[in-house]
Amino acid sequence: MANPPTTGTAAPPGRRTALAEGADRLRSAATTEPGRLRAVGAVLALLVVAFGAVTAWQTSDRAAAADDVLHKSQPLSSAAADIYRSLADANTAAAGGFLAGGQETAASRERYEDDIDTAAAKLVTAANNSDAGSPSTAAITKLNTLLPEYKGLVERARTYNRQGFPVGGAYLRYANQKMQDEMLPAAEDLYERENQRLQDDYAAAKPYPWAAIALGVLALAALAWAQHRDYRRTNRVLNHGMVAASAASAVVLLWLVVGHSVARAGLDESYEHGVRSLDVLHDARIASLKARGNENLTLVARGAETVKVDDTTVDAYDHDFTEEMATLGKGLAAAAELADDRAGEKPVATAQSNMAEWKKRHAAARAQDDNGNYEQALALVIGAKGATGACFDGVDASLATALDHERHEFRQAAGDGLDAMGGLPLGAAVLAVLAAAGALVGIGRRLSEYR
């Protein structure tokens, strides 16, 4: 007996996903010239747009950092240096006024008040531009707290000094100690932090945008390959759309390389012939101020403060004066080496001449004081004629002139560097869009031949 026939239906084939079907269509299209042309066009457009986007991004970051160098971090660094200078000068003026006693001039008193007001104003500027909770903010807060305390001590010293009480000298020495041990270190810390901020901005502004440059070279190479491929298949020398895309990409790449090189050169010059000189001149000016303050305090203390040097007991303030004058000499020598034109060299040379005369007059004053001739020593320090004060004023005025010149040099060079990057981010983006459109038009012309 025959077996009954089996019944049943065959299993339907598995349903394919849309992704698999799309992949099949892409593979099928890639085997045809129109499909390959579409793929080439997409890749070219993507490369050119990526080149423009990365160029715009990297140059925007560098331009922003260069702008900060010119308009924010360097001015803040100078403001921090001015805070230090104003505090040191106020301390010097206070000691000079104390020595004059009842004969303190209105000019001396006004100088002290101007210095205090300048320091307070610069602290407000620094506070407005510092980040909340940053170390700079802590230094600014500390200085704002100490400044009225210092002023109170100076006023007490003046009051007792006018009344002839010796305790006035103790108050002035205490005020000087607060300035030297607390206020000036805080101001120096603020200056160093703002200087580091300036260095960070330089570091962000100067590096070459290698990613953008690499993408630009890759985009140009891809465009050249696409045009060569088109020539081999059609014997047409030029594809106008891709020629336009290549030209636009080449302009962006050239603009990027040349513009950034010029900007980098300007920033380098602003640092080498601006910032470095400014740093040295600021340090030299501060050293001269501290030297003058110590010179005055030598006569205020009259041997009350001493220190041992190589087993020899010497006046502490006179010892500090000698050290600050050595620092001033080194600073002026460095400034002379960095000065790159006559306008920068002349005030430094004048300051060096005044410093040499200052040392001679100081030695004469110390000789008179050591011999018990206090009034003669006082006249040689704060007198109207032939005194060390005139030499100090000459040094300070010359350094102020040199600082103004170097600030101008910095602004000029940094401004040139910033200008070299002007318009590059926007220009790169626009040209990249035009280049991508040109590439697509060029491919579209070829595709139209298959319709």
Other Cβ atoms closer than 10 A to 78: 22
| C-beta of residue 438 within 8 angstroms of C-beta of residue 242 | yes
pLDDT score recorded for residue 236: 63
Q: How close are the terminal C-alpha atoms of the chain, in Å?
A: 67
In whole angstroms, what separates CA 28 from the centre of its chain?
A: 59
The per-residue pLDDT for 358 is 95
List Cα–Cα distances, 79 to 85, 280, 311, 383, 430, in angstroms: 10, 15, 41, 32, 40
Contacts of 391 (CB under 8 A, 6+ apart): 354, 355, 357, 358, 361
Query: Under a CB-based contact definition with an 8 Å cutoff, are residues 135 and 190 in contact?
Result: no
What's the pLDDT score for residue 63?
92
* Residue 308, helix vs strand vs coil: strand
* 8-state DSSP, 101: G
Tokens 């696409």 found at = 226
Measured in whole angstroms, the distance separating CA 120 from the mean position of its chain's CA atoms is 22
| Residue whose C-alpha is closest to residue 147's, from 184, 97, 95, 191 | 184
Residue 5 confidence (pLDDT): 56
Number of other residues whose CB lies within 10 A of the CB of residue 97: 23
Which residues are CB-neighbours of 336 under 8 A, at least 6 positions away?
Answer: 345, 348, 349, 352
Report CA-CA distances (Å) from 217 to 29, 53, 253, 291, 430. Answer: 29, 14, 8, 59, 18
Q: 306 with 340: CB under 8 angstroms? A: no
pLDDT value of residue 218: 93
User: What confidence score (pLDDT) does residue 31 get?
Assistant: 61
pTM: 0.78
Question: Residue 98 corresponds to which tokens in the numbers above?
Answer: 């104390």
Nearest to 216 by CA among 251, 243, 240: 251
Which mean pLDDT values do the consecutive 10-residue runs of the chain (451 residues) have? 53 59 57 70 87 92 91 86 90 82 74 92 85 82 92 89 83 88 90 89 92 93 84 70 88 92 93 90 90 86 75 83 94 93 93 95 91 89 87 93 93 91 88 85 69 57
pLDDT of 28: 56
Evaluate whether 399 touches 347 at the Cβ level (below 8 Å): yes
**Which structure tokens are listed for 274?**
């601006």
CA distance 160 to 171: 9
Alpha helices in 235-315 (DSSP H): 240-270, 276-301
The burial class, CB within 10 Å (0-12 / 13-18 / 19+), for 115 is: buried
The radius of gyration of the chain's CA atoms, rounded to the nearest angstrom, is 36
pLDDT of residue 1: 47
Cα dist. 323→192, 203, 328, 387 in Å? 21, 34, 9, 20
Both tokens of 324, joined, read 């600050």
DSSP code for 307: E
CA 367 – CA 377 distance, rounded (Å): 8
Check residue 6 and give its pLDDT. Answer: 53
